[in-house]
Structure 1
Amino acid sequence: MTAPDRQRVGALIAPLFEPLIAPLDVAEKGKVPGVLVGVLHQGQRYCYAFGQVPLQQGGSAAPEDTVVMIASNTKVFTATLLAIAVLQSRVELDTPVRELLPPGVDIHPYLMDQPVRLRHLATHSAGFPKGLCPPRDDVFGHYSFDATTRFLREFEPQYPPGQQWCYSNQGFALLGALMSHVHHDSPPSEPGWGSSYRDWQQVARRLLLEPLGMQSTQVELSPPVRARLAQSYGLRQPGQRYESIRVGEIDPQSAAIGAGALSSTVPDMLAFLARQIDHGPDVLGRAIALTQSPQEPLGLCMGLGWQVGDGCLAKDGLKLGYASYMIVDPSCRVAVFAFANAEGSDLNGAARAALGALRGCAVQWPRPTPQPKRKPQCPPDGMSAR
């Protein structure tokens, strides 16, 4: 990497991200205090910072060392675990979910001959609600398996699986637990949701994070990790200071880890995106290629975990004031990962525009067709997670 190359890329993307920034002590609707941007271009990796990105415990860190919550970007990692399991003949994309549930836990099919399959969970087409049931403020790191059991027991699907696209954290939470189970090294010895379903963190580390060299990507916020964690903010009143948001602990055995609990750094996310371009011939490389393969039309073109459009793969994440977005064009060998320390800005649009500027062709991102008129809802009765 030469300084002129870094400067040219920076000059290209700066006009796209600088308009998103407002001063930390003068909040502005639609803007954020700070943005970090990682770029993969012509085989080189660059990291840029705009505005202010202080740490949760005070002070600051270099943009490359700052830890950020990537929220629902985690779903692509869970989908990659599914692809690995398929290539290892542990499951098939069309394996019914019911076959992988523990004894005593069942799921309602729309019709007996139309079960929810793993493919449906990975493409948001299972017909599950958007949020976890019951709703929580910090959903991914504190969701019980008892709540999962109650949801599966009480939820009645409104339409057949595989027919419509409707974004679902509930579906990916279940997929994460099932992928922990199918990749577990030893047969389960406990009844119910035993340890094999609660090991997503270790499975992801063994099969994805370590092979990809993502040493600063994790679930638990240990003291060394938290010392580098970016502070996130909320906007209470325009013109006043942005309000700090506290990030609590994350239970590594939460039933929703695989839906959005990872934290990472810009360099680690660029390592992940680089492998989306150069898959490699090993099982992981072939699994990555499988996640990029478009599935059935569902109102929004999906790979496994990825949204697909105009030659690009993309995914975003929102959690406790953190916003992130990754987009990659494998054929043009260009990728962008963007992070903001508050929600509400058009971070996704700026990242797409940046990728378009870098590849020399604007990204024409498809709009999803309308979602079901009757969106899936959590079962009634005021279920409460334990």
Structure 2
Amino acid sequence: MNKPRRTSLLALGALALALTAPAAVAAAPAQAETVAPLQKALDDLVKKDKFPAALATVQDEFGQERFYTAGVGDLKTKSEVPQDGRVRIASNTKMFTATVVLQLVGEGKIKLDTPIEAYLPGLVRGKGGDGRRITVRQILQHTSGLPDYDEIVFKGFPKSLGTYREPRQMVDYALKKKALFKPGKSWGYSNTNYVLAGLIVEKVTGRSIGDQITSRIITPLGLRDTYWPDARDKGIKGPHPQGYLATSPKQPWMDVTTFDPSSGWAAGQMIGTPGDLNRFLFALLNGALLDPAQLAEMKRTVAAPDFDSVGGARYGLGLGTFKLSCGGFAWTHGGNAPGYTTRNAVTKDGRAAAIAVTALPVTLKGAKNVEKALDTALCD
């Protein structure tokens, strides 16, 4: 689960493939030219693409925020969508994990071009890959060739959503599959890469990846609505819309707000808000979390053909890019988890936006329209 692959979001089967806050201002009336395009985009996600709810937070280059919602927060009670509510941010977790790894690189505890065998001796052995031939850089960049473990997440679905899994269990499952390609020879998104990155962090620090993300990123940045769920913590704390899942456009929505997030782990376990995602990404790209050398490494990208629906996307170390309709590109990631899809990005001049919908898309058109809403937020 939790992949942000922008072309592979068709219901459950696609999910198995995908696996100091600034001052805020209220949004202007819907008819105002600067607000209408994004509000209309969210309204269309609900009315035309049938998402139960959509919410967005946009931050301008001066740090001011605007909030938008559409739909209902709960299909049963018809409650309002909480403004900047908490959602499962899924694969956006990878940006946090990569940031911690790069901080440890700056501290001399990890080397990017050292084989992962040096940190996890004997762990990565199998049809899926060999840790003696895969570097830390390659797992952060998704150029390792390691296959994903995503099928295990949905074996026995929907009961499987309540199953707790250990990180090494997921790695072992992936290693039984055939490697995607030889290390460094291509690009292929795999949650397995970031489970291994989390295990490396724990090995070199002696502390859990969740503790490291909290102490190194969440607390210093004051991300009050972002957190790493405790072991077997299946709910979402604080104001949040319910999350839903359907296997086809004709199927009724299933409430999947509550489930065990352990299968995401360092690749996709976190919970947060669109506003906190904006603040994190803005801080990251402006050097608040990484020294210049490590930030430069993070921004060294390679072609990532399946990372967006437009084409031309590239991926660095836990951070990608996509083209904007108004010209140029934005730094991005995004994430998919049962019940929630998020798309978020920040531009070179400091504009940031994050969009969340409370389901995985059940059509390709719906998936693309979530991306278009993000482009609208940044370009209009």
TM-score tier by shorter-chain length is 0.7 to 0.9
Q: Is the 8 A contact 2:145 2:186 kept in 1?
A: yes
Q: Per-residue deviation at 1:61?
A: 6.2
Alignment of 1:199-278 (within 5 A): 199-220=208-229, 225-235=236-246, 238=249, 242-251=253-262, 256-278=264-286
CA contact (8 A) 1:276 1:288 kept: no
**Equivalent residues of 1:230, 1:341 under 8 A apart:** yes
For 1:104-149, what per-residue CA distance to the aligned partner results, in whole angstroms no more than 9, with x for missing partners?
A: 5343599989711111111111111234463445689832245246
* Equivalent residue in structure 2 for 1:303, among 285, 306, 316: 316
How far did 1:259 drift?
Answer: 0.4
Sequence identity of aligned pairs in percent?
Answer: 22
Retained in 2: the 8 A contact 1:61–1:228?
no
Residue 106 to residue 270, structure 1, CA distance change in 2 (3 Å): closer
CA RMSD across the alignment = 3.4
User: Cα offset for 1:70?
Assistant: 0.5
Change (3 A) 1:21 1:212: same
On the 8 A contact 1:105/1:153 being kept in 2, the answer is no
Judging changes above 3 Å, is the alpha-carbon distance between structure 1 residues 236 and 87 closer, same or farther for their aligned structure 2 residues?
Answer: closer
Tell me which amino acid in the other structure corresponds to 1:338: I
- Three-state SS of the structure 2 residue aligned to 1:21 is helix
Q: CA deviation at 1:225?
A: 4.5
Structure with max Cα Rg: 1
Is the CA contact 1:217–1:264 (under 8 Å) kept in the aligned structure 2? yes
TM-score (ref. length: structure 1): 0.74
Letter in 1 for 2:240: L
Partner of 1:54: 74
8 Å CA contact 1:273–1:328 kept in 2: the answer is yes
What stretches of structure 2 of length at least 5 have no aligned partner? Answer: 1-23, 306-312, 323-327
CA deviation profile, 1:73-92 (whole Å, cap 9, x unmatched): 11111111111111111111
Decide whether the 8 Å contact of 2:332 with 2:346 is kept in 1. yes
- Cα 1:146/1:61, change in 2 over 3 Å: same
**In 2 relative to 1, CA 145–271 (structure 1 residues): closer, same or farther, beyond 3 Å?**
closer
1:1-386 pair list within 5 angstroms? 9-22=34-47, 30-43=49-62, 44-54=64-74, 59-60=79-80, 62-64=82-84, 66-101=85-120, 105-107=123-125, 115-132=133-150, 134-136=152-154, 142-148=164-170, 150-151=172-173, 154=176, 157=179, 159-184=181-206, 196=207, 199-220=208-229, 225-235=236-246, 238=249, 242-251=253-262, 256-280=264-288, 284=290, 286=292, 289-290=295-296, 292-297=298-303, 299=305, 301-309=314-322, 310-329=328-347, 331-344=348-361, 345=366, 346-357=369-380
Deviation at 1:72, TM superposition (A): 0.7
The total of aligned residue pairs comes to 330
- Unpaired segments of 5 or more residues in structure 1? 23-27, 185-195, 358-386
